Chains A and B, each alone.
Chain A
Amino acid sequence: MEMNDEELERRLRTLRPIGPPPSLRARVLTSVHAPRSQPVWTWLPALAAILAAVLLSWRTLRIYEDVGRPQIEAAEAQRQAEIDQLSRAWGDTDASRMAAEDALTALSNASHSQPHSVTAEGSIK
């Protein structure tokens, strides 16, 4: 049997959509206590500090690469040249090389890196 709009509306009005389950209220109220995720800006100081630390260590490394390493390499090269020079002057043997190394080490420890020079004759000034 065909029903008209009014009859259908009347039938619908005898019904209603179901209500929320009781568990939903508890679920919502629990959300009030749940720790809120912190906004991004609260992490910004920590992030900035980490970034600054990374930047500083990177910069330090660069300065070391630019200045420190060449100086160390130059000093080591000079020491090797002096050892070669002394060793040659003292006979150019394994023993003379070891003696040259020992002498320069002793001199370096004693003089606390005061300038010195090695002559072609095998003497240290």
Chain B
Amino acid sequence: MLKRPEENRLAEVGRLYDRLAPALFRYAVMILASPTEAEDVVHRVFVRLLQRDLSRVAEIDGYARRAVRNDCFNTIRGRRGRREDETTPLLEIAGAAGIGPEERIATEQALRELPADQREVLHLKIFEGWTFNEIAALSGESVNTVASRYRYGLLKMRTRLS
């Protein structure tokens, strides 16, 4: 039986997870192009977050986002060899007016072939609706660099899909 402070803590963590984890996981999946690694990253970030006094973490969303970003790029730097989940889907159909399975697979394959930093910008711009300024603030890059990554990402995908 859980003691009351522990119950409260569990409920607090549950609420925090429900609020943050879906977006953080999707963000990590797109940077890493690996659901397995994304799961590990999000888990690590939450464990680190929970070791802190949440009431003293200013702006938890931003903190968690930066932590996921850093962990993702550290994971990429530490990669050895091929990953096991290179065939696990990264994308799902978002709405009723979706595209067919073959187009989804082709789009996903084109995304996988992009560098991680271009996938990151495409994700934040297209799937999360961020502005170049907001992406630049998160990544610490200039707005021009971010815009270039977006442009090159789209260009490579278009070339791949044509």
Interface residues of A, Cβ cutoff 8 Å to B: 1-5, 8-9, 11-21, 24-25, 27-29, 31-33, 36
Most buried by B among A18, A20, A24, A36: A20
CA distance A24 to B89 in the complex (A): 17
Name the prevailing secondary structure of the B interface residues. Answer: helix
Query: Do B21 and A20 touch (CB < 8 A)?
Result: yes
Size of chain B's interface in residues, with CB distance under 8 A? 46
Distance between Cα atoms of A11 and B160 in the complex (Å): 14
The reply to whether B161 and A8 form a contact with Cβ atoms under 8 Å apart is: yes
- Taking a contact as CB atoms closer than 8 A, the residue among A2, A15, A27 that contacts B91 in the complex is A15
- By the criterion CB–CB under 8 Å, are B39 and A17 in contact? no
A-contacting 9-mer, from B55-63, B69-77, B96-104, B138-146: B96-104
18 A/B residue pairs, CB under 8 Å, sorted by A:
A2-B158, A3-B158, A12-B126, A12-B127, A15-B107, A16-B26, A16-B127, A17-B26, A17-B27, A18-B29, A18-B89, A20-B25, A24-B25, A25-B17, A27-B43, A28-B17, A32-B50, A33-B10
